[in-house]
Amino acid sequence: SSVWYGAVVRGDSHPITIGFSSNIQDRAVVHTLPADVTVLKSGFTPVCHVGHYVLVGSGSTLTSCRIEDLVEIGEKCTIGEGAVVESNVILEAGTVVPPYARIPSGQRWGGNPAAFIEELDDEAKDHIKDHAEKIGIQAQEHLVEFLPIGNTYVHLEDLEREGVQAKQG
């Protein structure tokens, strides 16, 4: 799993879980309701669960909701507290899922408020997992190449230890 640049995962009030090969993209916010809220209107606790192979698009906000496995959440989506997004779902960019709403499995939704668009075919469902895995590979590349300031300095230090003069330029 990966949490990208500028994203916030704030579980200081209630637990947040993020599944295998899921990603929280740039500037997305995943949080829970305040600590004084112990039970949602649905009777569940106000935790936030993100399943396996879930893509949370840039700028999206998830609040004390449940996202099942294999879900693609487009950029700048908002998912309210108590909402449940079932597996094999695609939410179009900018979709607003109201509090306590349920998005059924195998469908594409979009709009404000979220409205049904179409049933997903097998190709679209397979694409969700492939896309999540692709972002996971990209996260590993960033980890090796760019964090904290790249890794070329490590090679330079090794060469200096061996007494090799490094040539710059």
pLDDT at 149: 58
Helix then strand count (H, E) for the chain reads 2, 17
User: What per-residue confidence (pLDDT) applies to 167?
Assistant: 58
Query: In this structure, are residues 11 and 31 in contact, taking their beta carbons and an 8 Å threshold?
Result: yes
Structure tokens at 48: 């936030």
Q: What is the pLDDT of residue 162?
A: 75
* Blockwise average pLDDT, block size 10, the chain, 169 residues: 94 94 96 94 94 97 98 98 98 98 98 97 96 92 66 64 62
pLDDT of residue 152: 59
pTM, to two decimals: 0.84
